[in-house]
Chain A
Amino acid sequence: MDILLYSFFAFIYLLIQTTLFNQMVLFSIALPQVHLLFLLMLPFRISFTWTLLIAFGYGLAYDFLSSNVAIGLGAFSSVLLVTLREGWLNLAVPKIYYDSREELVLPSLPINQLLLFIAPLLFIYLIVYYFMDGIGNFDLGMVLLKTFSGFIYTLFLSTILIILFYSGKR
C-alpha cells in the first residue's frame, strides 16, 4: 500500500515539477527544484537501502522527464542527498522530537526545525547539481549564482508547500 502511495506522490511531484516549476525559472537562472521535497520528506521508517533505490529511480525519472537536464545528474545528486540526510538528522534535529528515527514524522516538527533540517541538504544538493552540470564548461560565478538563487527560490516555495500541504500532520 505504501509503495503505491509513494509512487503516486513521486509521480505528482515530478509532474508538477516538470510541467509547472521548470517553467518558472527566474531571470533564466533561478530554477525552483521543489520536487526535492519528496525525497527530503520521505519517512525514516523506510529502510535506508530502499531510500537509496527510491532516490536513484526518482532522480533518474526527473532527468528523463525534464528537458535540458543532463541524464544522470539528478540521479547522482538525489542519491547523495538521501545519504547525507541520514547523517544530518542526528545533528540537525534534537532527540527531544523523536524517540527512534523510525518513528520520526518530519511534518510533525516545528516549521523552523524542519527548515533547519532541509535547508543545508537542499543547498548541498544544488551546489553538487550545478557543479556537475558545469563540468566541461566550468564557470564558478555562474555555479554559485545558480546555486544561491535556486536555493532561495526553492526554499521559499518549499516553505509554502510545507505550510499548505504538510501542516495537517503537525
Chain B
Amino acid sequence: MERLFQLLFKLRNALLFLILEIISLLFLFNNNRQQQEVYLTFVQDLAAEAQVLRTDFFAYFNLRNENEKLLYHNQKLREAYLKIKSELETYKYFLPLKPEYRLIPDSLMPKNGFRFIPCQVINNTLERSYNYLTLNKGYKNGIQKGMGIITDEGVMGMIIAVSENHSVAMSILNKNFRLSAKIFGENFFGSISWKGGNPAYATLEYIPLHVDIRKGDTIVTSGFSSIFPEGYMIGIIDHFEENNEDGFYEISVKLNSAPGKAWHVYALANVYRNEIDTLEAQTKIFQ
C-alpha cells in the first residue's frame, strides 16, 4: 500500500495533468453545442464498437452450439433434398429422344418403368481388378440382387448381394462386369466391360466394322435387360481400332461416371422385373 502511494506521489504531476485536461474537456463538451455533438457522436460510435466486440466475444464461446444447430439443420436439408431429388427422378426423362421411357408413378407406370432408391456408398474399392461397392441400403429398403446402380453421371454397377440393411454391388470397374450397350442413335449393340488398368476407360466390343462411328460418340445402355433402362449414359468413344480378323471394332470408351468420387448412388428397381424374369424362366428362351 505504501508503495502504491509512493508510485502515485511520483506520478502526481502526470495524473494532475490528465485530470485537469479531462475536466477542461468536460467543460468544453458540456457547455458548447458544436463540440458536444461531435463528442456524443464519438461516444455513441465507441459504445457501438464496444457492443460489437462484446457480441463477437460471446459469440465465439457459443460457436459450438451454433455449429451443432447448423449440423442439425444441414442434416434436415439433406434429407429434404434427397427426398425431393428422388421424387423428381421419378418424373424425369432419361433421354429427350425417348419420351416413352419417362418414369411416372406406379399407377401410370409404363412397361419399362424403373424406380430410384437413393443409397450411400459406404465402402468402395478402386485399385483391384475386381472392385466392389458397399451400400447402406438392404432388402428392408427394397434393394434386390441384380438391381442396377447408377449415379447422375452414368452406370456404376450391379447389386450382387443383399442383407437386411446393406448391399454389395459389383462395380463397373470389375473384370466380371459386362453390360449390353449401344452407340446412341444407332441400332447396333455391343458389350462393354472393363479390362483393368486405367479406371476411366472401358472397352466396347462386338460393334461391326460397317457401322460409322466417330470419336466422341455417346455410348448408352441398350435396354436389353431388366437391370438398366435403355438410353442411359455410359460414356463417350475415346478411340477405336478396326479388328479385321473378327470384323468388329475394339472401342475404348471414356466412362462418364467416376466411381472413386461417387458417394450418393441410386439402385434401379424395375417394377416389372419379377414378371419379366418369371416369363423368361417359363419360356426358357434365355437360359
Binding site for B on A (CB under 8 A): 48-49, 52-53, 55-56, 59-60, 63, 70-73, 75-76, 79-80, 83, 132, 135-137
Q: Contact between A72 and B27 (Cβ–Cβ < 8 Å)? A: yes
A selection of 24 A-B contacts at a CB cut-off of 8 Å is A48-B13, A52-B16, A52-B17, A56-B23, A60-B24, A63-B27, A70-B32, A71-B32, A72-B28, A72-B29, A72-B31, A73-B28, A73-B32, A75-B20, A75-B23, A76-B21, A76-B24, A76-B25, A79-B20, A79-B21, A79-B24, A80-B21, A135-B34, A135-B38
| Chain A residues positioned under 8 Å from B29 (CB to CB) | 72
B35 at the interface (CB under 8 A from A): yes
B26 at the interface (CB under 8 A from A): yes
* A49 to B282 CA separation, bound complex (whole angstroms): 117
Separation in Å of the B19 CB from the closest CB of chain A?
A: 9
B11-53: CB near A (< 8 Å → 1, else 0) gives 0110011001101111111011011011000000000000000
Tell which of B20, B26, B31 touches A52, judged by Cβ atoms closer than 8 Å.
Answer: B20
Question: Considering only CB atoms, which chain B residue lies closest to A47 in the complex?
Answer: B13
B84-122: CB near A (< 8 Å → 1, else 0) gives 000000000000000000000000000000000000000
Binding site for A on B (CB under 8 A): 12-13, 16-17, 20-21, 23-29, 31-32, 34-35, 37-38
| For the complex of A and B, 5 pairs with smallest distance between CB atoms | A72-B27, A72-B28, A76-B24, A136-B34, A75-B24
Separation in Å of the B38 CB from the closest CB of chain A?
A: 5
| Chain B residues positioned under 8 Å from A56 (CB to CB) | 20, 23-24
Question: Considering only CB atoms, which chain A residue lies closest to B42 in the complex?
Answer: A135
Question: Considering only CB atoms, which chain B residue lies closest to A136 in the complex?
Answer: B34
Q: Contact between A49 and B28 (Cβ–Cβ < 8 Å)? A: no
Q: Contact between A70 and B35 (Cβ–Cβ < 8 Å)? A: yes
Known contacts A72-B29, A76-B28, A136-B35, then 7 further A-B pairs from the complex at CB < 8 Å, ordered by chain A residue:
A48-B13, A71-B27, A71-B31, A79-B24, A135-B34, A136-B34, A136-B37
Separation in Å of the B13 CB from the closest CB of chain A?
A: 5
Question: Considering only CB atoms, which chain B residue lies closest to A52 in the complex?
Answer: B16
Q: Contact between B13 and A70 (Cβ–Cβ < 8 Å)? A: no
Q: Contact between A79 and B28 (Cβ–Cβ < 8 Å)? A: no
Separation in Å of the A10 CB from the closest CB of chain B?
A: 17
| Chain B residues positioned under 8 Å from A52 (CB to CB) | 13, 16-17, 20
Question: Considering only CB atoms, which chain B residue lies closest to A56 in the complex?
Answer: B20
Separation in Å of the A19 CB from the closest CB of chain B?
A: 23
Question: Considering only CB atoms, which chain B residue lies closest to A57 in the complex?
Answer: B20
Question: Considering only CB atoms, which chain A residue lies closest to B35 in the complex?
Answer: A135
* A75 to B31 CA separation, bound complex (whole angstroms): 13
Separation in Å of the B200 CB from the closest CB of chain A?
A: 69
Q: Contact between B34 and A137 (Cβ–Cβ < 8 Å)? A: yes
